[in-house]
Amino acid sequence: MSTLKVDTILKRTGTGTITLGQSGDTINLPAGVLTSGFGKIAQVLQTTKTDTTSISSATFAQISGLTISITPSATSSKILCFAQLSLGNDSTTNYLRLMRDTTSIFQSDSASNRPQATFGYNASGQYNMVTVPMVYLDSASSTSAITYSIYWRSNGSATSYLNRTVGDRDTANYDPRGTSSIVVMEVLG
Nearest CA among 92, 89, 91, 95 for reference residue 63: 95
Given this model, what pLDDT does residue 96 score?
93
Residue 168: CATH number of its domain: 2.60.120.1340
Given this model, what pLDDT does residue 29 score?
67
Per-residue pLDDT of 146-160, as tens digits, reads 999 999 999 888 899
* Mean pLDDT of the 67-87 span: 95
Given this model, what pLDDT does residue 126 score?
82
* Mean pLDDT of the 25-29 span: 70
Residue 14 covered by a domain: no
Per-residue pLDDT of 173-184, as tens digits, reads 888 899 999 999
- What is the band of 23 on the pLDDT scale with cuts at 50, 70, 90? low
Given this model, what pLDDT does residue 14 score?
72
Residue 15 covered by a domain: no
Residue 95 covered by a domain: yes
Residue 21 covered by a domain: no
Given this model, what pLDDT does residue 108 score?
83
Q: State whether residue 38 is helix, strand or coil.
A: coil
- What is the band of 54 on the pLDDT scale with cuts at 50, 70, 90? very high
> What is the rounded distance in angstroms from the CA atom of residue 155 to the CA atom of residue 112?
17
Given this model, what pLDDT does residue 104 score?
93
- Overall number of domains in the chain: 1
Residue 187 has pLDDT above 70, yes or no: yes
Structural domain harbouring 121:
41-187
* Mean pLDDT of the 94-119 span: 89
Residue 150 covered by a domain: yes
Residue 30 covered by a domain: no
- What is the band of 12 on the pLDDT scale with cuts at 50, 70, 90? confident
Residue 20 covered by a domain: no
> What is the rounded distance in angstroms from the CA atom of residue 25 to the CA atom of residue 31?
19
* Mean pLDDT of the 107-120 span: 85
Residue 129 covered by a domain: yes
Given this model, what pLDDT does residue 110 score?
86
Q: What residues have CB less than 8 Å from 74, skipping those under 6 apart?
A: 140, 143, 188, 189
* Mean pLDDT of the 30-59 span: 84
Given this model, what pLDDT does residue 10 score?
78
The burial class, CB within 10 Å (0-12 / 13-18 / 19+), for 79 is buried
Given this model, what pLDDT does residue 186 score?
95
More confident residue, 107 or 20: 107
